[in-house]
Amino acid sequence: MTTIAENLGWNVDAVTDDEKITIVKKAVVYSEITMSKSEFIKWQNTFNGDWDDAHEYFRDNIESKMVTDDVMEDFGNQYNQFAVFNGDISSMTDDVIGMCDFEWENHIDNVSEIQEVAF
């Protein structure tokens, strides 16, 4: 019988490794693209309310061309946050971020708390 952890692909042994920690960075990235208003409106009207097709087209054809320059990167870095977790949580980081109660910190330093993963 498989466990929920196995079904989710979590490496439970790595999570309980007391010799390791995982630092997670939540980054803010500002990117931009300029296009004509008429092109944007034409794109919106192409999909006739089909959100999935519109989203996929945006992701594949517009978002992929968006640019983050040095100024935008520096601006975004002001909002980055970090969390330190006990063990190697790399097999479950998205689940920890989405489902666990923990505190983000604005930077990592000598008083940063190593937090336990608790669902």
**Would you say 28 and 104 are in contact if contact means Cβ atoms under 8 Å apart?**
no
- Per-position DSSP letters for 55-67, written without gaps between them: HHHIIIIIGGG-B
What's the rounded Cα separation, in Å, for the pair 108 and 24?
Answer: 10
Once rounded to an integer, what is the mean pLDDT over residues 113-117?
Answer: 95
Q: Which helix or strand (DSSP H or E) is residue 22 part of?
A: strand 21-26
pLDDT category of residue 2 using cuts at 50, 70 and 90: low
What's the rounded Cα separation, in Å, for the pair 36 and 24?
Answer: 38
Once rounded to an integer, what is the mean pLDDT over residues 3-24?
Answer: 86
pLDDT category of residue 48 using cuts at 50, 70 and 90: confident
Model-level pTM? 0.74
